[in-house]
Amino acid sequence: MSDRTKFILDESEMPTAWYNIVPDLPAPPPPPLHPGTGQPVGPEDLAPLFPQALIMQEVSGERYIDIPGEVLDVYRLWRPSPLFRARRLERALDTPAKIYYKYEGVSPVGSHKPNTAVPQAFYNAAEGVTKLTTETGAGQCYDQKPYRKFMMETYGAVVHPSPSDLTQSGRAVLAEHPDSTGSLGIAISEAVEMAAGDPDARYALGSVLNHVLMHQTIIGEEALKQFELAEDTPDVIVGCTGGGSNFGGLVFPFLREKLAGKIAPTIRAVEPAACPSFTRGTYAYDFGDTAGLTPLLKMHTLGHGFIPDPIHAGGLRYHGMSPLLSHIFELGLLDAVAISQSECFAAGVRFARSEGILPAPEPTHALAECVREALRCKESGEEKVILTALCGHAHLDLPAYASYLAGEMVDRELTDAEVEQALKALPVTT
Amino acid sequence: MSDRTKFILDESEMPTAWYNIVPDLPAPPPPPLHPGTGQPVGPEDLAPLFPQALIMQEVSGERYIDIPGEVLDVYRLWRPSPLFRARRLERALDTPAKIYYKYEGVSPVGSHKPNTAVPQAFYNAAEGVTKLTTETGAGQCYDQKPYRKFMMETYGAVVHPSPSDLTQSGRAVLAEHPDSTGSLGIAISEAVEMAAGDPDARYALGSVLNHVLMHQTIIGEEALKQFELAEDTPDVIVGCTGGGSNFGGLVFPFLREKLAGKIAPTIRAVEPAACPSFTRGTYAYDFGDTAGLTPLLKMHTLGHGFIPDPIHAGGLRYHGMSPLLSHIFELGLLDAVAISQSECFAAGVRFARSEGILPAPEPTHALAECVREALRCKESGEEKVILTALCGHAHLDLPAYASYLAGEMVDRELTDAEVEQALKALPVTT
């Protein structure tokens, strides 16, 4: 096994249940609150946005939820995804560390997102929903990076640039900032507003909520099996965090094993210096979207009015953080670091030139921390085992690499005054 | 095994030798000729363009050539590639046919090309070559489809649009056709000219020659093993042909088994109606490039001066065809069909909406014939087993899908007069 590059599971070995970490935590996460009453939201409050099956998953106390056979059939189009040992990167860094990466870019769209998009579409369809709305990083760069839009249109989707004049939320942003670069928070407001106003429509989201992170746990469950094949155990697990779904998906099964005392990895979230909700935000109740249409979520946030600089990692440009991950952070079960965009792209180019794969802008954040850790090992001589979440490739984000290579990428440090100003917009809760 | 989606080989089962079909053919292919002397070219004629190891492979009479360990190490970054059973496409077509596809889009660049690019780079480096030149479809659409260029630049390559003013060949084309849309033939002239004029440089090519097709046979060798796992045998094998490397790579190992009397599949090349070298070209000695810098190759050709319409399948816009495949076609061991661009994209969209993967414009040609065959089976009730070469995904060609979906794609039938005119440029040989 010692000179193996990929650890592959047969599709018969694919996990058949998602893992819900909530019942295994030492304390339950604070509930979402209704902004009007200040009371925990009930299933009926969420019904205009989500099908019943997903609402039940969102609040479930079960440790495992069976993946429907129809979803497993679709997962088999690309899953199980490979775990790689990055031997060439190790040599390039001249490190004694062993680097592994779990690669989600093998899905047809090139990222981890269909792990949850498919079951969300399935449960909605099963309850008669005929239309789904969602936000996407692509909406933020409708003109500069049109390829993702073309891909969605090929599948039959309709894509609108955000902020748009199709919704009250979008029009309000445009009235105040006609040149707004948009954000995931604004796009969420628009998608939620459209779903709430259409009885045939519901809202699908790409991250943040419990059920989304739970769907992504198939990543970590596979990785655990693959580490058994590799006869190895990670000492450090790094992943990028925007809303937290790829990171939570990889780390929750490992955290289960850690909470059970079986392993003891350091678990580290990496966020962009331009949007550092964990490292510079506050832990408070806030809206999940810019317009304030969602329930209040207790999370690490920069304030729902915060519009991050238009960095290339569009998927990480979110003012908040998954409430579940925020809670786990507060419990001291993970740490976090923020890294600037150009250090991330430097790691991405280094990775592409050694391992072949061009990482998406988002996971270059994980790779940058992985490189830091591997170089610390070179310094100290430690032979740590590092597991990196590589949640997608850059085929639809190649202009970002062109910009980096042309020396046009600018890192701007967020000032304390900016953070303070953004946090003033936090809603008052009891 | 019956409801399996993917047939996966472990990397320990990856073939360790390439297959050279030449010694197994009932007659040897006609040799390349020196355009000046009309005599077969010798190794010394090719030395300015290729390293010795590849020249030896080009003329080898050995049935198998061991893959160097260093190349196997790189192959393991994505190989073995998966064989899929297209169950969802079968259902969408309501066909009794069984459809399989061998998918090469799992490589870091998204196509079969690194199967030969890696060994070519390896053998050149081993002989001290420090610079490689090559043609690429991307050069043809430098401005319209810049993503592939960005990818190559990230790996460290320099990309010039072709025709360029950097070479005599390019300047000659521009002088006559200032708005030339370029072609693979022109790009080959430019790449060959640059390599021949630089003692540190050699020329790497993406298709056409024997050694390139041989490197691609790892595709077919894997597929044979995967069909054993599937306990099935193909009745029809379809692949797209530009220069022929993906097609030859998949079918040669199956042809070996067919020549040995073990299986009896129909083997069918699919080419664009806009560039139909097999179906409307002539079998004659012609130059491999537009400027006439290469040896004369006996092949199916539309004439080296033929500039195909700028269809989206840039990789199929080549005036000629692999001499080896041309010879095999003349031996009656394969047939060919030409299909128009919009029928191909219709098949591509159908495939994307059932199987998830967006096929590159080139393999949509194979898929279009696969759909035709599956619908013929629906008509006749035959339960044929169809194997389709899916040589890459469309992530870098998404504007082509946007154009198709917008109804902007135009099919133009090549007139007999155009073909006749193009063939007038054929060189006179004895």
DSSP H helices in A164-234? 168-176, 184-196, 210-230
pLDDT per residue as tens digits for the range B380-395:
999 999 999 999 999 9
Cα four-point dihedral sign B29, B32, B38, B43: negative
Q: Does the CB of B373 have a partner CB in chain A at under 8 Å?
A: no
Q: Can you tell me the distance from the alpha carbon of A145 to that of A430, in angstroms, rounded to the nearest whole number? A: 43
pLDDT per residue as tens digits for the range B131-171:
999 998 655 566 777 898 999 999 999 999 999 999 999 99
Helices (H) and strands (E) counted in chain A, each on its own, are 17, 13
Q: Can you tell me the distance from the alpha carbon of B353 to that of A175, in angstroms, rounded to the nearest whole number? A: 38
28-87 in chain A: CB under 8 A from chain B: 73-74, 76-78, 84
pLDDT over 60 (residue B430): no
pLDDT score, position B413? 84
Pair type for strands A6-7 and A83-85: antiparallel
Interface A:B, Cβ pairs < 8 A: 116
Q: Can you tell me the distance from the alpha carbon of A49 to that of A55, in angstroms, rounded to the nearest whole number? A: 9
pLDDT score, position A413? 84
What would the two tokens of residue B418 be?
A: 């155009």
pLDDT score, position B429? 65
pLDDT per residue as tens digits for the range A185-203:
899 999 999 999 999 999 9
**Which residues, at least 6 apart from A327, have a Cβ–Cβ distance to it below 8 Å?**
A25, A27, A29, A30, A298
DSSP 8-state secondary structure symbol assigned to residue A359: B
pLDDT per residue as tens digits for the range A123-150:
999 999 999 999 986 555 667 778 989 9
pLDDT score, position B1? 44
The answer to whether the beta carbons of residues B322 and B209 sit under 8 Å apart is: yes
Q: Can you tell me the distance from the alpha carbon of A421 to that of A302, in angstroms, rounded to the nearest whole number? A: 9
pLDDT score, position A138? 53
Neighbours of B198 (CB within 10 A): 14
The whole-angstrom distance between B290's CA and the closest CA on chain A is 31
pLDDT band (50, 70, 90) for residue A315: confident
Q: Closest chain A residue to B348 measured between Cα atoms?
A: A154
The whole-angstrom distance between A417's CA and the closest CA on chain B is 37
Neighboring chain A residues of B109 at a CB cutoff of 8 Å:
356
Neighboring chain A residues of B226 at a CB cutoff of 8 Å:
none
Neighboring chain B residues of A114 at a CB cutoff of 8 Å:
356
Cβ within 8 Å, pair B151-A395: yes
Q: What are the CA-CA distances from residue A409 to residues A181, A271, A306, B93 (Å)?
A: 17, 17, 22, 48
Q: What are the CA-CA distances from residue B122 to residues B51, B109, B131, B132, B246 (Å)?
A: 10, 18, 12, 11, 20
pLDDT band (50, 70, 90) for residue B368: very high
Residue type, B408: E
Work out the burial of residue A169: count CB atoms within 10 Å of its CB; fewer than 13 is exposed, 13-18 middle, 19 or more buried.
buried
Q: Does the CB of B91 have a partner CB in chain A at under 8 Å?
A: no
pLDDT band (50, 70, 90) for residue A427: confident
The answer to whether the beta carbons of residues B270 and B366 sit under 8 Å apart is: yes
Mutate to test the interface with B, among A79, A101, A109, A150 (most CBs of B within 10 A): A150
Q: Can you tell me the distance from the alpha carbon of B354 to that of B200, in angstroms, rounded to the nearest whole number? A: 48
**B92 closest CA partner among B361, B395, B421, B356:** B356
Q: What are the CA-CA distances from residue A282 to residues A140, A299, A311, A332, B292 (Å)?
A: 25, 8, 22, 15, 69
Per-position DSSP letters for B31-99, written without gaps between them: PPB-TTT-SBP-HHHHTTTS-HHHHHHHT---SEEEPPHHHHHHHTTTPSPPEEE-HHHHHHHT-SSEE
Q: What are the CA-CA distances from residue A135 to residues A93, A364, B202, B353 (Å)?
A: 38, 22, 49, 21
pLDDT score, position B139? 52
346-365 in chain A: CB under 8 A from chain B: 349, 352-353, 355-358
Neighboring chain B residues of A399 at a CB cutoff of 8 Å:
146-147, 150
The answer to whether the beta carbons of residues B322 and B248 sit under 8 Å apart is: yes
**B5 closest CA partner among A79, A102, A107:** A79
pLDDT band (50, 70, 90) for residue B404: very high
Q: Can you tell me the distance from the alpha carbon of B170 to that of A16, in angstroms, rounded to the nearest whole number? A: 58
pLDDT per residue as tens digits for the range B34-90:
988 999 999 999 999 999 999 999 999 999 999 999 999 999 999 999 999 999 999
Cβ within 8 Å, pair A8-B11: yes
Mean pLDDT of chain B: 95
Higher pLDDT, B291 or B104: B104
Q: Does the CB of A91 have a partner CB in chain B at under 8 Å?
A: no
Cβ within 8 Å, pair A399-B150: yes
* Mean pLDDT, rounded, for B79-103: 98
Neighboring chain A residues of B398 at a CB cutoff of 8 Å:
146-147, 150-151, 154, 396
Per-position DSSP letters for A46-104, written without gaps between them: HTTTS-HHHHHHHT---SEEEPPHHHHHHHTTTPSPPEEE-HHHHHHHT-SSEEEEEE-
pLDDT score, position B122? 98
Rg (CA), chain A: 20
Cβ-nearest to B10 among A8, A77, A353: A8
Neighboring chain A residues of B90 at a CB cutoff of 8 Å:
none
pLDDT score, position A1? 44
ipTM: 0.95
Cβ-nearest to A6 among B11, B108, B349: B11
pLDDT score, position A142? 67
Neighbours of B423 (CB within 10 A): 18
Cα four-point dihedral sign B379, B94, B88, B360: positive
